[in-house]
Structure 1
Amino acid sequence: MYKELDEFITECQYMVDYWYDVGCIIAVEKLAQFNATDWEELQSNIGTKTLEWRVKLAYCLDHSCNAHELETLLLLIHTDDRELFESCIDTLRSFTTPESKAMILNHPSILQRIQDILPQAGVATQKVLEDFFKQLYV
């Protein structure tokens, strides 16, 4: 199933409107069929994917808020690219279980980066980042 998802995201790289209207729903359906091997393959290959591919994946990783999705987001979030980082934070707001919060809190560099970005972020991004903190500490 990983190869199907990989090919699908790759093929959708030039169809931005399609992705956010329909493509992400199809990708979520593919992710729902992943087994442990698919997750391992995804996580081991994630560093070879284009930035656009990784942003699209981050957008889709909250359909079931499972540990595999969280682990994948925590791999994606360690990036110098601000768009990918902010996409990961936006998605991480859905991970509200105590276990998820504990895993996120085990990455203090994420929290520091948010603090660094907040003062210069636009209004919409500020709201996402602030909501992330709110969800994390509730």
Structure 2
Amino acid sequence: MYADFDNYLGLEFLVDYWYDEGTGVASSLLSKFNEQDWIDLKEKCKLKSDEWKVRCAEVLDLASHPASTEVLIDFLGSESDEVVLAAADSLRGKNTVQLSSEVIERLWGISEKGSPPVQVVLRDLFGRLGLKLE
């Protein structure tokens, strides 16, 4: 199932289609993952494009498998602010999240220069972590 998920996220989508239909299809594929698929995702996602990672992060928020949180935390180490923000947004829906001080500092930096919607996302995540955005 990982191969199907990987191929699907690599397709070209119009933005509206991705959010209207594509996220549902991708989430459905995730719901069929077995343990090996989760292992493959954790190992192979690091080599994917930023666009692929953003799409992946956008659908991992509802996945209950512990690997989904691990992948999102890994995405926070990306050089791409877009990937980091997509991961941070999805992490808001996870129950238990622990972030390193380096990641928290990076998120603070993004929030300082971010737009109001970016600040809302990060403020909510920081609130879930017991931190305050100043």
Shift of 1:84: 0.6
Corresponding residue for residue 30 of structure 2: 31
- Report whether the alignment pairs 1:41 with 2:34: no
Q: What CA deviation, in whole Å up to 9, does each residue of 1:94-127 have, x standing for no partner?
A: 012xxx23xx23x222111112222211111011
Structure 2: any 5+ residue segments left out of the alignment?
A: none
Shift of 1:16: 2.1
- Report whether the alignment pairs 1:126 with 2:116: no
AA aligned opposite 2:75: L
Q: CA RMSD in A?
A: 1.5
TM-score by length of 1: 0.88
Contact 2:30 2:63 in 1 (8 A): no
Shift of 1:44: 1.2
- Residue identity over aligned pairs, in percent, reads 30
- Report whether the alignment pairs 1:21 with 2:2: no
Question: Equivalents in 2 of 1:133, 1:89: separation in Å?
Answer: 10
Shift of 1:64: 3.1
Structure 1: any 5+ residue segments left out of the alignment?
A: none
AA aligned opposite 2:46: G
Question: Equivalents in 1 of 2:128, 2:65: separation in Å?
Answer: 17
Corresponding residue for residue 5 of structure 2: 5
Question: Equivalents in 2 of 1:66, 1:131: separation in Å?
Answer: 22
Contact 1:46 1:54 in 2 (8 A): yes
- Report whether the alignment pairs 1:115 with 2:108: yes
The SS at the match of 1:14 is: coil
Corresponding residue for residue 73 of structure 2: 74
Contact 1:8 1:27 in 2 (8 A): yes
Shift of 1:47: 2.0
Contact 2:42 2:67 in 1 (8 A): no
TM-score by length of 2: 0.90
Question: Equivalents in 1 of 2:75, 2:28: separation in Å?
Answer: 20
Contact 1:89 1:129 in 2 (8 A): yes
The SS at the match of 1:78 is: coil
Relative to its length, the structure with more helix (as a share) is 1
